[in-house]
Amino acid sequence: MSSNHDPELDDVLQDADLRRIVAVLTSAETPEPPLDDAYRTGLRRQLMQEAWAMSEGRYSLWRRAFGPRGFAWAGAAAGLVLIASVVVWTALQPTGGFNTVVIQSPVDGKSSVSLQQPILVSFNQPMDHQTTQGATQITPATTVTYSWDQNSRTLAVQPASGNLAPNTQYQVTIGPGARTQSGQPLATPQTITFVTQP
């Protein structure tokens, strides 16, 4: 009989032949069945899935930020910012954009303008000197000389006598004959009005 004696088994098996068969069966060693390769692969897959599920909470912020969904949201946000900046930039542009010639002067609408200063007229793009000077009219009629800055964007109109008349309203009109250096004409006449000091 085997060294592992079971008293309950003796109660159940009264016959000596049956006890001998039990002893032979319990003493026999059975070989382990071979593992199937598919079992190993399936077990590995299951263990990896469980490991990923356990680690999801640890790095979820990084995984969300740099995963496909995070990059998609970042791209959508960048596109939205780009569209908004184009809309704002377009809204802040003067009417007509770069194609329209815009004229400004620091003396426009002022009173008590100094008699000894030239009348400065600024343009938003480089102007053709000859056509712009030909389209410039001053009221009251005054003999003037013209000079330009090196960018051809600021015209200085200086009375030939050196001084403007005191206590006088001047109007400097740039007519539609003025053209940019690219050949675009001024759409409408533009006037600068100011009054000199007494």
Average pLDDT, the chain: 82
The neighbour count for residue 7, using CB atoms within 10 Å, is 6
What pTM did the predictor assign? 0.49
Cβ-Cβ contacts under 8 Å for 133 (sequence gap 6 or more): 146, 155
Give the closest residue to 118 by CA, choosing from 162, 150, 149: 162
Q: Is 129 a member of any domain?
A: yes
For the chain, the domain total comes to 1
The strands making up 144-148's β-sheet, listed across from edge to edge, are 103-104, 119-123, 154-159, 144-148
The pLDDT of residue 77 is 92
CATH of the domain at 152: 2.60.40.3710
Q: Give me the residues of the chain with pLDDT under 70, please.
A: 1-5, 56-65, 93-99
d(CA 161, CA 134): 20
In a domain, 151, yes or no: yes
Is 107 a domain residue?
yes
Decide if 29 is inside a domain: no
Tokens of 95: 């009417």
Domain range for 145: 103-195
Give the per-residue pLDDT at 99. Answer: 67
pLDDT of residue 91: 80
